[in-house]
Amino acid sequence: MALPTSSAEVWKYIEKWPFAVISFVTPKGESRSAGVMYKVRDRMLYVITGRDTWKVKHIRSNPSVSVTVTVQRLPIRVRQVPPAVISFAGSASVLEIDHIPDDLRAELMRGVEEIPSTCAIRIEPRGHFVTYGIGIPMMQMRSPEKALARVPV
């Protein structure tokens, strides 16, 4: 795979797009995923969720996760050009809501009233970002050999 971009450029996209899909494994070894809204702080992703959700249960059992961020590069979808994607492995940990800074908690809550059963998930990327369509001209995204890249986190 080519290296058309840098880690710093990938982080700019991750910081800009607020939605990702987190994949994890259940205690029985079954794969699951969940869409989440996140914020980035110190090159880690933070998610607010309920303490009793399946995400929290599975992450407490196995902290290894995979994260995929889909990046919309165009205001309209072009049939022959897929969206850009950033994917990476990471380690997740469940935090009490008061263990994250007040300003970050406010951003994550987005005006929703905090409830007692709220907690946070922190995801620390590790290894490499695998990207598709990041750091290249849009029309080159039709060519997988030009669009794929592996960039150190």
* Residue 61: per-residue pLDDT: 93
* Cβ pair 78, 92 in contact under 8 A: no
Structural domain boundaries in the chain: 7-152
* Cβ pair 125, 90 in contact under 8 A: yes
* Residue 74: per-residue pLDDT: 64
DSSP 26-58: -TTS-EEEEEEE-EEETTEEEEEEETTSHHHHH
CA geometry: angle 4, 5, 8, nearest 5 deg: 175
Tell me how far apart the alpha carbons of residues 153 and 95 are, in angstroms, rounded to a whole number. Answer: 23
pTM to 2 decimals? 0.89
pLDDT digits (tens, 9 = 90+) for 51-102: 999 999 999 999 999 999 998 766 555 666 778 899 999 999 999 998 999 9
State which CATH number among 2.40.70.10, 3.40.50.450, 2.30.110.10, 3.40.50.12780 fits the domain covering 7-152. Answer: 2.30.110.10
